[in-house]
């Protein structure tokens, strides 16, 4: 893959940051591409100040509004790391707060739990009324013999 060409007012600083990360043993290829997007944003905004400001980071964050929350967070996290790097040499440099991302629909989300619940079998209305009301039609637990019929799972 060809190296990303940087052209903004912060091109040298961004490249130094990428080089530092690579020297520390990190591949940093995808992050370098994300910093290339930020460099292009700086170039499109015609910014000439080589200092990171709140207005710059807020403008960049607004330009990411079309992305999914996780993608937006990933891109902004790399820019935040760049800001931390730049703030080491510039005491007036701005470092934004990390973004708070809404968790995705993981294993414990309401929809995932509902899918899991539905995978257990028929709805509650078709189940026996007591645990001892065993019918030959369903996969219910037989407590008298300690053997299961059907799937062998007791109803919760």
C-alpha to C-alpha distance for 39 and 20, rounded to whole angstroms: 17
pLDDT band at 2 (very low <50, low <70, confident <90, very high): very low
Q: What is the pLDDT of residue 47?
A: 85
**What mean pLDDT do residues 81-100 have?**
90
Query: Would you kindly state where each structural domain of the chain is located, as residue ranges?
Result: 11-87
CA distances from 27 to 24, 79, 82 (A): 9, 17, 16
Burial class of 140 by CB neighbour count within 10 A (0 to 12, 13 to 18, 19+) = buried
pLDDT band at 120 (very low <50, low <70, confident <90, very high): low
**What mean pLDDT do residues 27-31 have?**
91
Q: What is the pLDDT of residue 1?
A: 41
pTM score of the predicted model: 0.63
Q: What is the pLDDT of residue 51?
A: 86
Please enumerate in sequence order all residues whose Cβ is within 8 A of that of 49, keeping only pairs 6 or more positions apart, or say none: 9
């Amino acid at each position: 893959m060809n190296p990303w060409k940087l052209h903004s007012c912060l091109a040298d600083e961004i490249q130094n940051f990428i080089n530092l990360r690579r020297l520390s043993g990190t591949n940093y290829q995808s992050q370098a591409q994300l910093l290339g997007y930020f460099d292009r944003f700086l170039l499109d905004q015609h910014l000439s100040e080589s200092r990171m400001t709140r207005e710059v980071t807020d403008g960049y964050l607004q330009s990411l509004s079309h992305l999914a929350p996780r993608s937006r967070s990933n891109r902004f996290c790399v820019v935040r790391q760049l800001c931390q790097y730049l703030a080491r040499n510039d005491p007036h440099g701005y470092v934004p707060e990390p973004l708070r991302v809404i968790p995705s629909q993981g294993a414990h989300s309401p929809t995932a739990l509902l899918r899991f619940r539905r995978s257990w079998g028929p709805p509650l209305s078709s189940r026996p009324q007591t645990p001892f009301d065993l019918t030959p039609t369903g996969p219910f637990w037989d407590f008298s013999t300690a053997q299961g019929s059907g799937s062998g799972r007791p109803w919760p």
